[in-house]
Amino acid sequence: MKKYIFTFITVLFLIFGMTSNAYGFGLINKGNARPNAGKYDTILKENGGVYIGADTKDIYLTFDCGYENGHTPMILEALRKTNTKAIFFITGHYLNSATDIVKEMVADGHIVGNHTFSHKDFTKSSNEEILKDIKKLEDAYLEKIGAKLSHYVRPPRGEFDERSLKLLKDNGYASVFWSLAYVDWHQNMYHGDQYSLKQVKRRIHNGAIILMHTVSKDNAVDLEQIITQLKNDGYNFKSIQNVI
Indicate which residues carry an active-site annotation. Answer: 64, 213
Query: What number of helices (H) and strands (E) belong to the chain?
Result: 9, 10
- Residue 130 CA, distance from chain mean position: 16
Beta bridge partners of 87: 62, 111
CA distances from 176 to 3, 158, 190, 211 (A): 42, 9, 27, 10
Beta bridge partners of 65: 90
Task: Report d(CA 178, CA 52) in Å as an integer.
Answer: 6
Question: 3-class SS at 233?
Answer: coil
Contact criterion met (CB below 8 Å) for 216 and 71:
yes
Rg (CA), the chain: 19
Task: Report d(CA 240, CA 209) in Å as an integer.
Answer: 8
